[in-house]
Amino acid sequence: MNVGIEAGHGLHYLSVTAAAQAIARKQLSPVELMKAHLARIEKLDPTLNAFIRLDGEAALAAAQVAEREASAGRLRGPLHGVPVGIKDIIDVAGLPTTCHSKILEGNLATADAVCVSKLRQAGAIVVGKLSTHEFAIGGPSFDLPWPPARNPWNPDHHPGGSSSGAGSGVAAGLFPMALGTDTGGSVRNPASACGIVGLKPTYGLVSRRGVFPLSFTLDHVGPMTRTVEDNALMLEAIAGHDPLDPGSTTAASGHYRTALDRGAKGLRIGFVRHFHEVDMPAEPEVTAALEHVMRGLQMLGADVRDIRLPSLVEFAAVNRVILQSEAWSIHAHWLRTRPGDYGKLARRRAFLGAGDYVIANKRRAEMIAAVNAALAEVDVLLCASSMDPACRIDRPAEVERTYPRQARTPFNVTGHPALAMMAGLSSGGLPLSVQFVGRFFDEPMLFRVARAWEQAAGMDKKHPPIG
């Protein structure tokens, strides 16, 4: 059976696209695919802790139904029979939404979040709920009911966050795709740390109804996959207007794969060097990897030029004031009545007071205008994602030092779509990353540039040395 399995790898590293196509052609059984992933989970998750709640029995039963439907030529949609993991701040009917916190232990969801419902309508099968940082903030904590997820490239290192189980599990082949959320970089951080593709879509493109909020005006739901094509396919399934989400947009969505293979020739790319060279100097290996990506795109025919934006320090300050102000409005009751049930990291990192919310939002409008002006001159921005490879998970001071060293929060502040992916490997064998940023609702252009780099550098063929 030839379903696009890479040499030396089993079904667990089959791409979403290849798996869905093989199932549609009756070349692959959804049951066979699910069993391969469940076996992989059984083998590796005791080390990686990607899952808070594995729903394996229900997933296998759903795969059996999907197999009968496929055999009869009845496909639910373009993801028919393909497994997906869900970050545990996103509701899945019948399973607890704990937000990885004692506060919500046993909090049973009565309905699917809209994004989960859309994945099911497209034929995807939920395998379970995934580790996160507590309430999607904080960091890798050891004082919570469940252990933190670990990095499959080296389990002594953290996998990024807060969509930590999603990043770890996709990279390790526990499932080929996952839903994460991103308020200050929480899809793109684990994508960067674990060497996968993570997209924060344009603000409002994907409904957040049924997702536990962190910051109403910064929260995004985004796809996490091993390939750019898979990411675009997943976005096609989850994007769309939701009149019951006040932040949802009515902009047209869909057809995100149309420009995938057009390459980078003739594109104008703005390199935001000052983020990693001046504002927050990156580790030398990160700088070298970004230069490598830049030269690679030039060799593919792109015109790369330097672009300046407001400083990372200023972006981070605006993000922090808005996030903490809005998070306080969500958590105030529990912080007053159950403060001891929060983990130490969440208590320390969030809820530090409102600050000057009005001034922050005024500056936010100016920052949006600055990024729009830059994107009027170029098609895509290229910049750093993380300034360091992932550090060890058992060194809290180093985790605390490196977590803010990133260039992701600017695009939560502005709402522009941003994609993080692997740029190479460090001398220690850990992923290095790059970030691409596009105009509002121009995700197809982001996918086009990311795919050009992915194909030229073979990034979709690199997997962790685990299992």
Catalytic residues: 87, 162, 186
DSSP per position, 362-419 = HHHHHHHHHHHHHHHH-SEEEE-SBSS---BTT-HHHHHHHTT-BS-THHHHH---EE
Q: Which two tokens stand for residue 288?
A: 């070298």
16, 19, 21, 25 alpha-carbon torsion, rounded to 10°:
-170
CA distances from 163 to 25, 80, 394, 403, 455 (A): 33, 24, 18, 14, 26
Q: What are phi and psi of 336, to 5 degrees?
A: -80, -35
Q: Please, is 252 exposed, middle or buried when counting C-beta atoms within 10 Å of its C-beta (0-12, 13-18, 19+)?
A: exposed
Q: Which two tokens stand for residue 156?
A: 């002594």
Task: Determine the Cα–Cα distance for residues 93 and 24; give it in Å rounded to an integer.
Answer: 27
Q: Which candidate, 12, 52, 11, places its Cα nearest to that of 174? A: 12
Q: Which two tokens stand for residue 246?
A: 């006040």
- For Cα atoms 228, 232, 238, give the angle at the middle one, nearest 5 degrees: 140
According to DSSP, the β-strands at 268-271 and 220-225 are unpaired
**Cβ atoms 188, 408 nearer than 8 A:** yes
- For Cα atoms 233, 234, 235, give the angle at the middle one, nearest 5 degrees: 90
